[in-house]
Amino acid sequence: MADKPYDDARHQDATHEVARDLAYKRLAIVNVAFYGPPGAGDRQWVLVDAGLPRTAELIAKGAGERFPSARPAAIVMTHGHFDHVGALRELADRWQVPVYAHPLELPYLDGRSAYPPPDPQVGGGLMARLSGFYPRGPIDVGGWLRPLPDDGSVPGMPGWRWLHTPGHTPGHISLWREADRLLVAGDAFVTTKQESAYSVAVQKPEVHGPPRYYTQDWEAARTSAERLAALNPEAAVTGHGPAMRGAELRAALHTLARDFTRLAVPEHGRYVGAPARADERGTVYVPPKPPKGAGGTPGMTVTGVALTLVGGWLLYRGIRSEDRRPGAGSRDRRGPGTPADAPEVERSITIGRPADELYRRWREPETLSQVMGQAAEVRDAGEGRTRWRVHAPLGQSPEWETRVVEERPGELIRWESIAGAALPNEGSVTFRPAPGDWGTEVTLYFRFDPPGGVAGTAAAKLMEAVPKTFVGKALRRFKSLVETGEVPTLEHNPSARGRGDTV
């Protein structure tokens, strides 16, 4: 048995009670847990993990509904990855509360060390592909930070024990209460396929190993899964996915432990053959990155970049859907009032043609379709409008229209998305004489304005980084088109590796 995420989503309910004194709240792609019976007094409850960046208000609101006007006794961290510490500093300062973690996790929480790089080569879905853009710390909450007690007790949680379950991170812990066999597993195992954006969105309950793209020691992770399976838990809350309980949970967990290599360990990846190593100082060794073509995820194509960009958009939407505070997401769009932190990118290239010719070529209806290639369909919608449709998996293909809002022949074209766009944005292309009177310097600018509120997580990093590749590739295609009459592609070359236009 498990929670019912479809019903919960329909009722806009993101907090779920597993036992009278244990509940959890889903924050788009990750969970936080609340220990303590409803109505527990000041310093009589505990928060486990601290969610995504910019979710402090959501966590505080959930806590306030369960424990009115009460501060926690402690914040206990299963580990310090960005999606578990996003609101930690703000909440610790607000509540003036100690933060507890395993000694081997402290360097990632007191500013001394960053985690090893995530590994997009593990495959499995869009979340893994995006992982290269995820923050890896460190953060610094050193003023509030404390090591967990050596005796295995958990501050503020009588009857619970902390268990060292390394592999996903060096100091990863899980929490266990023997009396009713309740388990807070962290990311030692999870109950959704965290590598897949689709699985993360629908939250179908199923037991998986730790998220592959962040796991740095697979042998240790296997041992941890075996240890937790041997507990035969009655119910489990994990870092990602719905809670599970009963025989279904136990059977799935024993299957995972018994066949961990086949079910959890990726075929390829930076840490598959050799783990990253850490000590009390933090990360001390990271294995070299496998060469391109050595297996795993191939070079990203233009289409892949577009899908990754859409993945960022989906993450923003998922996080935005959790933000029910009055006025959230009501900020103005670009033009007057666009947020200063909206992700933007600008790239330039020199093309050996006069500005007037390049301007006319850009304005031809078919040019944008050729420049964008497989990444998007772009067509004339009439009345000065252009319709965009980005190709994405799972039927999640956003469409929007733009209109030209400023134009100076031979110098500038500027456009904005029309109100209600799935991915609000603006852009411009400018044409200036290149230095030395050799052709024209063409500058392409995009600014994306995803939904507001708390949507500032890994997707924000993604939305800053991905368009840099996307825009640069579009300019190179435009240059080739006007100088040679062709857009280079590997699409129909049977000897080419990969598929599409390699970025």
Q: Write down the pLDDT at residue 233.
A: 98
Q: Where is mean pLDDT largest: 10-24, 115-129, 186-200, 397-411?
A: 397-411
Per the CB < 8 A criterion, the answer to whether 378 and 372 are in contact is: yes
For residues 270 and 217, give the distance between their C-alpha atoms in angstroms, rounded to a whole number.
10
Residues 86 and 63: their CA atoms lie apart, in Å, by: 16
Select the more confidently predicted residue: 27 or 500.
27
pLDDT of 137 reads 80
Task: Determine the residue type at 105.
Answer: E
Residue 344: phi and psi, rounded to 5, are -145, 160
Highest average pLDDT, of 121-125, 261-265, 317-321, comes from 261-265
pLDDT score of 430: 95
Residue 208: closest CA among 170, 165, 265, 248: 265
Is residue 209 classed exposed, middle or buried when 0-12, 13-18 and 19+ CB atoms within 10 A define those classes?
A: buried
Instruction: Determine the residue type at 286.
Output: V
- State the average pLDDT over residues 158-182: 98
Tokens 């991905």 -> residue: 466
Token pair recorded at residue 286: 């990271």
Orientation of helix 302-322 relative to helix 458-484, angle to 10°: 150
Q: Is the pLDDT of residue 161 over 80?
A: yes
State the average pLDDT over residues 247-257.
Answer: 95
Dihedral, CA of residue 195, residue 199, residue 200 and residue 202, to nearest 10: 180
Element (H, E) at 308: helix 302-322
pLDDT range class, residue 393, cuts 50, 70, 90: very low
Written as one string, the DSSP assignment of 412-459 is EEEEEEPTT-SS-EEEEEEEEEPGGG-SEEEEEEEEE----TT--SHH
DSSP 8-class letter at 377: E
Please give the residue that has the higher pLDDT: either 483 or 503. Answer: 483
Main-chain phi, psi angles of 229, to 5 degrees: -65, -35
- Rounded mean pLDDT, 73-102: 96
Please state whether the predicted TM-score (pTM) of the whole model is above 0.75: no
H/E element, 146: strand 145-147
Closest to 473 measured CA to CA, from 295, 314, 291, 299: 299
Structural domains in the chain plus CATH codes: 5-285 (3.60.15.10), 302-484 (3.30.530.20)
Residue 240 in contact with residue 31, Cβ under 8 Å?
yes
pLDDT-based confidence at 332, cuts 50/70/90? very low
Q: How far is CA 90 from the centre of its chain?
A: 20
Residue 239 CA to residue 27 CA, distance in Å, equals: 10
Q: 348 in helix, strand or coil? A: strand
| HEC-encoded secondary structure of 165-220 | CCCCCCCCEEEEECCCCEEEEECCCECCCCCCHHHHHHCCCCCECCCHHHCCCHHH
Q: Which range among 205-214, 298-307, 354-363, 468-477 shows the weakest confidence by mean pLDDT? A: 298-307
**Residue closest to 79 by CA, chosen among 208, 226, 221:** 221
Q: Rounded to whole angstroms, what are the CA distances from 157 to 25, 77, 141, 172, 231?
A: 18, 13, 22, 18, 19
pLDDT of residue 363: 87
**Taking the C-alpha atoms of 189, 195, 196 and 202 in order, what is their torsion angle to the nearest 10 degrees?**
30
